Every structure is written in structure tokens, then in C-alpha cells.
A and B are shown apart, each in its own frame.
Chain A
Amino acid sequence: MPAPAPNQPASSQRLSRIVNVGIPYLWLGLFFLLPLGIVLRISLSEPALAQPPYTALWEWLESGMVTIQLNLGNFMLVWADDLYLVAFLNSLRVALVCTLLCLLLGYPMAYAIATAPERWRLLLLMLIILPFWTSFLIRVYAWIGILKANGFLNNFLLWLGVIDEPLAILHTQIAVYIGVVYAYLPFMILPLYANLTRLDHTLLEAAADLGCRPWRAFLQVTLPLSRAGIIAGCMLVFIPVVGEFVIPDLLGGPRTLMVGGMLWTEFFSNKDWPLAAALAMMLLGLLVIPFVLLQRWQQRAEARGS
């Protein structure tokens, strides 16, 4: 008996579904999950003077037995040593403060661009994106020239007579804040702009018509409706800043220890890959867990709303 005809399209449909879902999974597995697994595996080994510079996870013994050695020592060390904790907290603080500063600076800028006359918008956006055309490293170096003791900023302030002697800004926490806010501001502005241009202007007219003054209308209509843009911008700034290495290294001082710098030192100076991998894993946990919780909380809030 021949197979029933309707089966044919059904199976091809299933195939296309498998391909459609499978390709992204394959991609994620290959370029995200697999490297993550490798890092996790390194974090559970011990450093060794070998190539690669860490011990194997398992060994075949003559007797046919497999011994698996999981070394949690790296995590214990990171947990126990205050130095790492300080670096973590410092990273979080810098990321938090800079995200907030970017939001406070970026929101008005994004709002101004979004409400500017049509013919100005493209130009203003270009001005935001323009710095990307120069190397990131060169831009950070430029800040050294601006912030150093006889740099542009100090000379300018001395010339104005605001200060009598040069301010020590370079190699302090403040220099790191300045550098990070400068470098990451576009990442805050762009998603906010994308969100604010979609805001229906008649909603503000309706608010005014219902007796709402412009400032309150901003708080009650514009701000809540731009929440998605705010969240996107904050994530785009906060996450990379926590692991930022170049800016604190070039602009910061000895007291601006951040996780990025620790990772660099462990990997390249101390050649302790397992410890560096453990640090990276803990950093990941630190970033992922709050965001997962935030997302679940949001979903629950939305489910309650509808």
C-alpha cells in the first residue's frame, strides 16, 4: 500500500522547521556554548608549564580507569582573596556610575535629536557616530593628551585663571569615568534615539489637552514609553563597561583595579589561565544572574498587567 499523500508535505514541513530552528541553535552552540564550555573546563584545571598551560581534565590509567580531576581551587582563590572582590566591586561601581552618567547625558541628547527638525536629524546622528570612524585606542590616547598635568584641559583652566596649579586628573578614577562615559555615550544615545523617534507626538498633545504641564507630561508619558530604550541603552553600556580593560589601563591609576585588568594580568603576565578562566566565569555569573532575574520579573509584571 502506498504511503498516504498528505504525509509528504508534513515531513518536508518538519524538515524546514528543524532547519529553521536548528541553524540558530547550531550557531549559538558553536560560537557561544562551545567556547564557554572550554573556558569552564580551563577554569577547573590547574596551571602547568606546558602547551597549553593547564592540566588535562581527565587521564586514562593503565588499568582502564579514567580519573577526572576537577580543581575548584581557582574559584576558592578568587572567592577568598579580597583583591578580586575589590576588583569586582570596583568594576560594578564604575559600570553603574558610568551607565547612570551616560543615561543622564544621553537622554537629553537623544531627545533633542529625536525632536529636532527633520533636516537636522541625520547630521546630528552622524556627529554621534562620527567618533567611531577613528580607532578606539587613538581616541583613548587623545584623552591622555587632554587630561595630563600640562595637557589641554589644565592649560585651558590655568589660562582662564580658574585654577593656580594643574589638577591631577589623569591616572585617577575620575579619568576612568570621563573616558568610559565618552566612549560609551553613543551606545546609550542610539537605542534611546531609535525609541524616542517612534514616540507619537499627539500623545503629548493629548496630555497637554487633559491639563498636563509639559514637564509632567514628560514624566508620565514620554519617560514610561521610552522604558525599552532606556533598558537597551543601559545594558549596552553596563555590560561591556564591567569588563572594560583599555580605558582603566590607559587613563586609570594603580587604585583603579577592575576585573578586565585582573583578567589581562592573570592571562598574559602570570600565565595562570585557569585562574583567569575562573574569574571570567564568575564575572559572567555576576552579570547574567541579575539580568535573568530582571527579565523574569518583567515578564511576570507584564502578565499581571494583561
Chain B
Amino acid sequence: MAIAIDRRSLEPWQDPKAEPYVRIERVTKKFSDVYAVDDVSLAIFQGEFFSLLGGSGCGKSTLLRLLAGLEYPSAGRIHIDGVDVTDLPPYHRPVNMMFQSYALFPHMNVEQNVEFGLKQERMPRRERAERIAEMLDLLKIAELGQRKPDQLSGGQRQRVALARSLAKHPKLLLLDEPLGALDKRLREHTQFELVNLQERIGTTFITVTHDQEEAMTMSTRIAVMDAGQIIQIDTPTGIYEYPNSRFVAEFIGSVNLFEGKVVRRDGDEVLVESPLGRSLQMHCPHPLALGTPVAVAVRPEKIKLCMDFRADAVNQISGVVEDIAYLGDVSIYHVRVGSEKIVTMTLANIQPRTEQALTWGQEVAMEWSPTSGVVLTD
């Protein structure tokens, strides 16, 4: 029996009739002469786990602070749940934020920290106590209620910060590098916990991160930012498999870029003349004029070894293995093609390493299918 899943309820951004929960319209934020956020428009839907991804100084944190009301935009409007909140101060917004440094009040214990926001909205004492218990339970820190922040470990502090920011049942939770202060092992574990938590309570999450792996694991959609602008918004798969620019392709994962020119079009296929000495045939759904300078982007794991090299076969190139990085599960091979180009190829280590065929200085032939990469113009 097939289970019918309405794709639109899982991917509301595909539905033209869906009303976005958070709407950022042409927002610009200038700090003296610097554009921290430059004419950004963004629609985020209810229940999403949305990530703003970019390097430091790309404007992702500023955008988050604009949503929280900790900064006001120089231009543009921000709507949350149909209400224009652009000019509302932070204490009047139905939004809570988890700070990168956690910003726990050091003079209050865990319960008092969680209670702080509830007190501000004058919730009666009994309700407050119930809500605190609910939050501490949700984050499995019930036994820490009486501790002060300086008596907690980093992971515990992160949970308290999360409990505090969720206590008021905000319409929107903003997370600034939520896992940034945790060590690697704890971070990987917490990624999944955070996603499970978000699915359970259904609150819309917007998170800022510089860690692409984190963004890929947790998000429904990712916005890749650079220099105050959004370069691409898509699902993790979309961002990875179909980057829209060299910047995104290189920012997420590693990629081989083959520069060239469109020399022939044939339906959805284009032929790109490259300095590798042979033309590459790629799938490309959008029309490109002949002579357009492009880059063919192919991920290292999409490249296969081929046993018999034929000069007329599609997308076959040959080169010499220069470097091998053995990572256990996979190995990364750097193959020199021609005199200058280094092609990176990742192969799963299906056999124990000693039995593997490839070694330094060996001549190899590689290939990929026309649908295994994208043609980039930007």
C-alpha cells in the first residue's frame, strides 16, 4: 500500500498559494558605509527549519538580528505571521532567539532563567511553574533546575538556553550558531536532537551557521549568503546537486570546475569545449546561447573510474594519480589531467586498501554522465 504524501505540505515553498510565515521584503541594513544586508527578500514557511549559511561577515547574523528586532533595517519591511514587525522593538515581537554565547543570566539559576520571559508577560505563578517543568522535561534537564549557569557544562548550558528561548512558545525561534560552542562529537549528536525537537513542537526555526554540514543535516531549506546578499535558496539536495553559481558550488562540499564555452546545443544537452582537450557533454535545462562562457561543475563522488578508455566516449578523460588521501570510508584522489588541471575524485573503499588497484603515478581513465553535474554561468 502506498502512503500518499502531499508534497506541498512538506515543501510549502513549491505551492504558489501558500502564505509565507516570515516575509522579508527588500531589506537592507547599512552600518555606516558597509552594507551588511543588501536588498534581501526571503519567504519562510510555517514549520520550516531554515538555515542561513555563509562565511563570516556575509550578513547572516545581521539578518537574524533584524528578525529579532535587535537591529532595525535601513530599508525594507519584515512581516511575521501577517504582521508588519519592522518597527517593533524586540520585547514586542513574537520571536525568541537563542544566542551564540547562550547569554544565560549568571545571577539566576536554571529555573529562573527559563522563567524570565514568562515573568515579563505576567503569566500567573502556577502556569509559570508548569511551563518551566514542561521545558526542563522537553530538554531533559529537569535535575538541573537549581543550578547556576557557571555550574553547568557547555552542552547543558546549550539546553538551558534552548529551554529559555522556547519557554514563551514563540511563533519563531531564531538560533545563532546553536551548536557553535559544542565540541565536534556533541555537535553531531545534538544536530539530530535539534531536528527531532523542532519536528515535535512544530515551531518555525531559523538558524544561522557557517558549518555547511550542520546546515545540510538539519534544514528543510538553506539560503547561501555572501556579501550581504542571498546567492541561492534551495533544499540541501538542491543546493548540493544543483548549485546556481560557482560560489555556491565551491562553498558547499568540494567540486571540480571545468571552464569552457558552449559550442553546441541539442535539446537539453549542451556541448562545452574545455581546455582539457575534449568537449564535455552536459545536461542543461535552461537555454544558453552559443559561445557563452560557462563552468561545468562535477562533484568528486560523481566521477567514476572507467576500465576501457575510448576517445569517442562521453565525458571520458584520463590522467595520472598524483595524491591519495585515505579517509577510511572513502579515498580522495587527485588526478592530473593535461599539464595544469587537477581533478578530484572520491571513491568508496569497497575493498581493503591493500587490494586496491589505484596507486601513485598510475594512469587512470575517468568518466561521468551528462546528468551528474551542472553547467554554471555565474
Contacts and interface: CB of A to CB of B under 8 A. Distances in A.
B168 interface: yes
Given A200-B103, A213-B91, A208 B168 contact: no
Contact of B168 (A206, A210, A225, A306): A210
Contact of A216 (B69, B92, B120): B120
A86 B70 CA distance: 55
B70 A209 contact: yes
A208 B106 contact: no
Given A202-B101, A205-B99, A210 B164 contact: yes
Interface centre among B92, B103, B106, B121 (most CB of A within 10 A): B103
Contacts of A208: 69-70, 89-91
B107 A224 contact: yes
A225 B106 contact: yes
A219 to B, nearest CB: 12
B45 interface: no
A300 B183 CA distance: 36
A205 B148 contact: no
Interface residues of A, number: 19
Nearest to A210: B117
B76 to A, nearest CB: 21
A212 B148 contact: no
A203 B121 contact: no
A224 B106 CA distance: 10
Contact of A211 (B99, B106, B120, B148): B120
Interface residues of B, number: 27
Contacts of A202: 99, 101, 103
Contacts of B96: 209-210
Contacts of A205: 70, 90, 99, 103
B116 interface: yes
A117 to B, nearest CB: 13
Contacts of B91: 208-213
Interface string B101-129: 10111110100000011001100000000
Contacts of B74: none
B143 to A, nearest CB: 15
A221 interface: yes
A147 to B, nearest CB: 42
B99 A306 contact: no
Contacts of A211: 91-92, 117, 120-121, 168
B46 to A, nearest CB: 21
A200 B120 contact: no
Interface centre among B68, B91, B92, B116 (most CB of A within 10 A): B91
Contacts of A200: 101, 103
A78 interface: no
B97 interface: yes
A209 to B, nearest CB: 5
A209 B68 contact: yes
Nearest to A223: B107
Contacts of B89: 208
A207 B164 CA distance: 11
A52 to B, nearest CB: 53
Contacts of A305: 109, 148
Given A208-B91, A210-B117, A211-B121, A225 B103 contact: no
A135 to B, nearest CB: 41
Contacts of B92: 211
B70 A212 contact: no
Interface string A100-125: 00000000000000000000000000
A184 B91 CA distance: 38
Contacts of B95: 209
A221 B89 CA distance: 18
Contacts of B101: 200, 202
Contact of A221 (B68, B105, B151, B164): B105
Q: What 8 A-B pairs come out closest when comparing CB atoms?
A: A210-B117, A211-B120, A206-B103, A208-B90, A202-B103, A211-B91, A209-B97, A224-B107
16 contacts: A200-B101, A203-B103, A205-B90, A209-B68, A209-B69, A209-B70, A209-B95, A209-B96, A210-B164, A210-B165, A211-B91, A211-B120, A212-B116, A221-B105, A224-B107, A305-B109
